[in-house]
């Protein structure tokens, strides 16, 4: 069912699904369609199609569920101020999926195939793109080994599945982070998988995040596994540290996910005249910063109000005057069309 024109709250809900958009969170809402494309080992992906959204059938011996042969992406479709629907830098997600597919010995869709699959999914679920100001349509492309194997070898068959759900913010408000000193997110250096969006990178954070949340923290900040001295990443987003005019973020050295929001925020901050460096950042340096913030497709730009390391809690600047808020507004402005997209980051799909 679709609604018409303008709701009582003044939100333009034309062509939007009939749900209470003010109650949107960050959890799966079943939408209408998903996109499926299959490919045998050694072949290239060719034709895919939209099918009704729903459960999938999978061989119990599929390598995704036994050996973790899977990578995913996350990107969003937004309604713009002039009433169109856009994607944000989808070619970047396609390139990152290729990197992960190479690492996990999987065939991958071409950039055009990836963007086409994402576009078709977003358009088929157009009524689930939230009204402007209420959120976005989070699109999840998942590339997985769906062929059966008992041996630890690449699957004989692969599936690209693209599905979506309307979302709003991942976290509510500024973050209170706990520094994790027992578990690591990724092994240091280029030999591990921290730098790809592998399905295997996420469940390992649960032990730390579950314990931290039980103690009232919003999320966990992980340290590098080689020295335990440098900050790396939060469970599902990148981290930045601000001191005066200088902004630093851990370099994408194989252990850090090369985030697309991270990359975009670096470009925006450079344009604003900040000095931006990608390098190792010690915990000590972060505890002496003015501001800390996180970036990611899901979290967008989220300021950090405190970081707790062992028994010491350090507080940071947040709020309307913070740099992270300024950067967030510019990014969201570009994504929703209130700020001119001079870099050609948005792709109109309707």
Shortest CB 301 distance to ligand COI, Å: 12
Distances (CA, A) of 162 to 19, 96, 208, 221, 280: 22, 15, 29, 29, 35
Report how far Cα 17 is from the mean position of its chain's Cα atoms. 24
Q: Is 98 a catalytic residue?
A: no
Nearest CB to ligand COI, comparing residues 139 and 174: 139
Residues 137-176: x where in contact with ligand COI by CB under 6 A, - otherwise, as a string: ----------------------------------------
Looking at the DSSP assignment, which residues form a beta bridge with residue 233?
A: 222
Size of the site for ligand COI (CB under 6 A): 6
Question: Quick count: other Cβ atoms within 10 Å of Cβ 311?
Answer: 5
Among 178, 197, 229, 263, the active-site one is: 197
CB 288 within 8 A of CB 243: yes
Shortest CB 329 distance to ligand COI, Å: 19
Nearest CB to ligand COI, comparing residues 193 and 297: 297
Task: Give yes or no for residue 298 binding ligand COI (CB under 6 A).
Answer: yes
Which stretch of DSSP H or E encloses residue 278? strand 275-278
The DSSP output letter for 335 is H
CB 241 within 8 A of CB 249: yes
Residues in CB range of 8: below 8 A, 6 or more apart = none
Phi, psi for residue 131 in degrees, rounded to 5? -60, 155
Nearest CB to ligand COI, comparing residues 74 and 130: 74
Which residue number is nearest to ligand COI in terms of Cβ?
74
Which stretch of DSSP H or E encloses residue 271? helix 260-271
Stretch 27-86 residues interacting with ligand COI (CB under 6 A)? 74
Give the binding range for ligand COI (CB under 6 A) out of 151-159, 173-181, 188-196, 295-303: 295-303
* Of 48, 100, 296, 337, the one binding ligand COI by CB under 6 A: 296
Binding site for ligand COI (CB under 6 A): 74, 202, 236, 296-298
Catalytic positions:
197
């Amino acid at each position: 069912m679709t609604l018409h024109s303008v709701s009582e709250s003044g939100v333009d809900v034309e062509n939007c699904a009939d749900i209470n958009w003010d109650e949107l969170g960050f959890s799966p809402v079943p939408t209408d369609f998903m996109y499926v494309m299959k490919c045998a080992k050694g072949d290239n992906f060719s034709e895919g199609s939209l099918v009704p959204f729903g459960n999938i059938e999978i061989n119990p011996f599929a390598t995704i569920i036994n050996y973790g042969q899977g990578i995913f992406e996350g990107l969003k479709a937004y309604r713009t101020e002039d009433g169109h629907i856009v994607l944000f830098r989808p070619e970047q997600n396609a390139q990152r999926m290729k990197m992960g597919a190479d690492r996990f010995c999987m065939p991958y869709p071409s950039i055009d195939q990836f963007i086409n699959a994402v576009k078709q999914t977003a358009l088929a679920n157009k009524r689930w793109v939230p009204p402007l100001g209420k959120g976005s349509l989070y699109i999840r492309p998942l590339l997985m080994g769906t062929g059966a194997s008992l041996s630890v070898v690449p699957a004989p068959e692969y599936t690209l599945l693209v599905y979506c759900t309307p979302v709003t913010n991942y976290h509510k408000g500024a973050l209170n982070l706990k520094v994790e000193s027992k578990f690591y997110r990724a092994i240091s250096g280029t030999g591990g998988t921290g730098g790809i969006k592998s399905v295997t990178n996420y469940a390992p954070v649960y032990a730390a995040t579950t314990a931290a949340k039980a103690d009232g923290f919003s999320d966990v900040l992980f340290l590098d596994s080689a020295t335990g001295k440098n900050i790396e990443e939060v469970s599902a987003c990148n981290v930045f540290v601000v001191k005066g005019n200088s902004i630093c973020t851990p370099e994408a050295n194989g252990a850090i996910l090369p985030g697309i929001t991270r990359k975009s925020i670096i470009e925006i901050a450079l344009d604003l005249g900040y000095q931006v460096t990608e390098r190792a950042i010690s915990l000590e340096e972060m505890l002496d910063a003015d501001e800390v913030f996180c970036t990611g497709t899901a979290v967008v730009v989220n300021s950090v109000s405190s970081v707790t390391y062992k028994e010491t809690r350090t507080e940071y600047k947040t709020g309307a005057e913070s740099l992270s808020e300024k950067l967030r507004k510019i990014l969201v402005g570009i994504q929703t069309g209130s700020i001119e997209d001079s870099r050609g980051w948005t792709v109109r799909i309707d």
